[in-house]
Amino acid sequence: MAILRKLKEKLKKIMQKEKKSPPQTFAPQTSAHPPRILAEILAKKIAKGSPQKRKGKEVPAAEKKEILGQQETAIGKTKFYTVEAPRMPRVMPQELPEQYGQDKIVLQVRDPWWIHAYWEITGQTYERLKNELKDEFYRAKRILRVYDVSQIIFDGKNAHRFFDIQINEGTSNWYIDSAGAGRSWCVDLGLLLSDGRFIMIVRSNTVCTPIEGPSWITDEEWMIPEDMFARLYGMGFGLGRSSPVGKGWQERVRRAFISSPGVSSLASPVKKVPGERKFWLVVNTELIVYGATEPDAKVYIQDRQINLRHDGTFTMRFALPNGKQVIPVKATASDNKEERTITPIVTKETK
């Protein structure tokens, strides 16, 4: 613990410094000395060319807090940026089964604190339990018993601790708040009888939640100075700008210094501001020039040749800006002996 506390102290100091440095530039985080200042000035100069502050949409402070991977998600989405075609709702040949006919519970780790469990229990198993337990079955509660099995080979009895989550009959999955990063977990799905007995129906696999910060274990052979690691740690996260990974570790340190304007927003960068009125109107004008001549004639519009359809007709379409357009349309016979020119003149104004 002492090691961790020391590390936190170091990190605090670094965070404080970073608050002052320009966000999009790199500035070394050694204790202030001339080269660093120089670097910052240089960096600022260069950074002038880097993204300006948005004027139109000032992002509220709360939204500026980035969630790790949020940008990756937003950009990743553009890969799949299509509208949905109004396809005939295709009838699936069949639906996936709700159950596969086995007693099973599976745990998966969502993040350092949350585990997801899904399960299925067959009708036969419930029938068997009903026969065995009779009326007790109907009084019993369905529960998930969550065991902390860190560093042990679990035999059903030797867990460090456990807690129960009551579930409804129709439920078949649950997000479990283990509140314990860096520990191993196993879950029994079973019945809690009114006399306090627990009947296990099925046991899950064992999963291990990752730790929420750097490891306390330091390799002897590769002993690493605390301050060095703290700096590397901050830098690995992009100069300590908010990043939720290592949350428990990073943000706890930060919270003391940065007044938190509430829970970090999960807003997407293209999020619409609720309540803003969105009524709008766009008007554009285009001009269609069309006509017909001998199919083998050559036609020029404003001195540029255009292609005729097989029947000698033609259509051209122009975006029409404000002002006057003089549009001579000239047709020349294939033997070049005859020529006709018609010149529409169009004036557009917008009020």
Which residues between 223 and 242 bind other proteins (CB under 8 A)? 224, 228-229, 231-233, 235-239, 241
Interface residue with other proteins among 34, 49, 196, 275 (CB under 8 A) is 49
Q: Which of 43, 167, 192, 193 binds other proteins (CB under 8 A)?
A: 43
- Give the side-chain half-sphere CA count within 13 A for 147: 21
* Residue closer to other proteins, measured from CB, 306 or 333: 306
Q: Out of 6, 41, 108, 130, which residue is the one contacting other proteins (CB under 8 A)?
A: 108
In single-letter form, the type of residue at position 306 comes to: I
Choose, by CB under 8 A, the member of 6, 110, 128, 139 that binds other proteins: 110
Site residues (CB under 8 A) for other proteins, limited to 292-351: 302, 304, 306, 316-321, 323, 325
User: Computed over its alpha carbons, how large is the radius of gyration of the chain?
Assistant: 35
Exactly one of 52, 151, 168, 350 binds other proteins (CB under 8 A); that residue is 52
x/- track of binding to other proteins for residues 256-295 (CB under 8 A):
-------------xx-------------x-x---------
- Residue of 350, 303, 351 whose CA lies nearest to 331: 303
Residues 6+ apart with CB under 8 A from 98: none
Q: Which residues, numbered 111-170, are part of the site for other proteins (CB under 8 A)?
A: 111-112, 114, 116, 118, 120
- Sorted by sequence, the CB contacts under 8 Å of residue 258 that are 6+ apart come out as 15, 19, 242
User: Please, what is the minimum distance in Å from the beta carbon of residue 131 to other proteins?
Assistant: 27
Binding residues for other proteins, rule CB under 8 A, total 108
**Using N-to-C axis directions, what is the helix angle for 247-255 and 2-20, rounded to 10°?**
60
DSSP character string of 13-60:
HHHHHHHHS-TTS----SSS-HHHHHHHHHHHHHHTTS-PPPSSSPPP
Using CB under 8 A as the binding rule, the residues of this chain from 206 to 225 that contact other proteins are 207-219, 222, 224
Q: How far is CA 122 from CA 4, 104, 169, 248, in A?
A: 48, 9, 13, 40
CA distance 261 to 60: 10
CB of 263 to other proteins, least distance (A): 13
